[in-house]
């Protein structure tokens, strides 16, 4: 399916029949994250603007969305904490949902601060 052709026809007001799209059956999930390299961009403002000043992207696959996202973040240069984690969580329901993961992190030896 040529999505560009379909989008162009729609923007021009040309009638377009619905198109059947068959997603691929895969045993994995993909995640894509931006890569920021402010240190390589001369006179770049490290505060993100609307365009986000991304200089690239990384896509990775995983068995679920969490693994794919973590792999992509690590590939983009995100460093996993080694001992301490600062946590800021929103509404009470999210705090309740996070308790299980807080226990897991604590059992893994991380010191949590909230």
Judge contact between 60 and 75, C-beta under 8 A: yes
**Greater confidence, 87 or 46?**
87
Read off the pTM.
0.54
The CA distance from 29 to 113, in Å, is 32
The CA distance from 53 to 28, in Å, is 29
Q: Has residue 12 got a pLDDT over 70?
A: yes
Quick: pLDDT tens for 45-73. 666 554 555 567 888 999 999 999 999 99
Indicate the pLDDT class of residue 20, thresholds 50, 70 and 90: confident
């Amino acid at each position: 399916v040529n999505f560009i052709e379909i989008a162009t026809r729609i923007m021009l007001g040309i009638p377009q029949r619905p198109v059947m799209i068959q997603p691929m059956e895969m045993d994995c999930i993909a995640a894509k994250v931006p890569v920021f390299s402010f240190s390589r961009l001369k006179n770049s403002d490290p505060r993100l603007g609307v365009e986000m000043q991304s200089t690239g992207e990384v896509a990775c696959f995983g068995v679920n969305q969490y693994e794919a996202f973590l792999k992509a973040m690590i590939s983009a240069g995100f460093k996993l904490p080694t001992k301490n984690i600062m946590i800021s969580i929103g509404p009470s329901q999210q705090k309740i949902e996070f308790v299980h993961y807080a226990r897991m992190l604590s059992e893994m030896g991380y010191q949590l601060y909230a």
